[in-house]
Amino acid sequence: MTKFRTLWWLEYRRSRVWAAALLGSLVFWAWGLEQVPYAMPEERFGIRAGLLGAGAIVGVVVLAFMIGRVRSETRQGQYQILLLTPPSGYLHVLARFAFALSVGIVYAVAIGALLWWAAARAGLHLDPASAAQLLLVCPLYGAGIAMAPLLAWTLLLMVLASAYRISGTAWIPGTVMVAATPFILRFLGERLSYVLYTLPGWRLFANLEAVLAKAKVEGTSEALHAGIVLPQEPLWGMLALAVAMLVLAGRIWQEVEA
């Protein structure tokens, strides 16, 4: 536990500027939401939701860059001695991943809060249960289904490339892995789609119909009126994939740096 805390502190020291910049960018997105020109409330909400979607994508990309800085730090970085000493490779990888994911979850919850604010401005006043789902369930689901696998993939990519740095061929595993990933993802996606909704789904925003009727929103799809049902299977599948990639990254770190 002490080793993990040390590595967590190391991550904090190394990535705090990135994390602060990412969380600070929320002010920019909040300012951007305020700049949306006057239009119909539904249109304004749509534009704001789109802006927040863009903010979420930018946040994940920034986190991926943050977690991927492996090579320069292990060889020329300020903490190279600490990086190459006793704690196991698994612990190094876990600390790096956990720090980035924590920052990402805080960022995602803040994006959810901004979406809640935008919905309220559009006259969509959610009940406490729905607000909690928007603030916690949706960001955590998004983190589990997209953020965690992407961060784990980035970590595996950079650790794999680092394993070839002595032979000077680091670009080959990087190229091969980037090229093969879409095909592997398509294969896994097809398998996941076969079992979709085998387990009971999670129903969110159960009273969405009442909220929409109260706000006099027209033109929404019938499916939305019954609420949104999130399938469990993609979440468990992508989390399992993230864990598998982290184990592989830790194993490679162990074999190369130990």
Q: What distance in Å separates the CA atoms of residue 16 and residue 97, rounded to the nearest whole number? A: 14
Chosen residue from 77, 173, 201, 227 binding another protein by CB under 8 A: 173
CB of 185 to another protein, least distance (A): 11
Interaction between residue 136 and another protein (CB under 8 A)? no
**CA–CA distance, 179 with 122 (Å, rounded to integer):** 43
What distance in Å separates the CA atoms of residue 136 and residue 119, rounded to the nearest whole number? 16
In this structure, what token pair is assigned to residue 204? 């969110």
The minimum distance between CB 176 and another protein, in angstroms, equals 4
Question: Mask: binding to another protein, 182-221, rule CB under 8 A, as x and -?
Answer: -xx-------------------------------------
Smallest distance, Å, CB 43 to another protein?
39
* Residue 166 touching another protein (CB under 8 A): yes
Q: Which of 113, 9, 103, 109 is nearest to 65 (CA)?
A: 103
Which listed residue (20, 180, 199, 210) binds another protein by CB under 8 A? Answer: 180
Residue 163 sits in the site that holds another protein (CB under 8 A): yes
Say whether residue 47 binds another protein (CB under 8 A).
no
Closest by alpha carbon to 211, among 134, 136, 139, 130? 130
Q: Which is nearer to another protein, 33 or 151 (CB)?
A: 151
Q: At its nearest, how many Å lie between another protein and the CB of residue 257?
A: 10
Interatomic CA distance for residues 222 and 64, integer angstroms = 37
Using CB under 8 A as the binding rule, whether residue 156 contacts another protein is answered as: yes
**Helix (H), strand (E) at residue 203:** strand 202-204
Other C-beta atoms lying within 10 Å of the C-beta of residue 105: 18
Q: According to the binding rule CB under 8 A, does residue 72 interact with another protein?
A: no
| Cα separations in angstroms, 153 against 2, 103, 185 | 27, 17, 11
Q: How many residues bind another protein (CB under 8 A)?
A: 21
Q: Does 91 bind another protein (CB under 8 A)?
A: no
144-155: b or e for each residue (b if 16 or more CB lie within 10 Å)? bbbbbbbbbbbb
How far apart are CB 4 and another protein at their closest, in Å? 22
Report the distance separating Cα 107 and Cα 167, nearest Å: 39
- List 80, 169, 193, 198, residue binding another protein (CB under 8 A): 169
Binding site for another protein (CB under 8 A): 156, 160, 163-164, 166-167, 169, 172-173, 175-177, 179-180, 183-184, 248, 251-252, 255-256
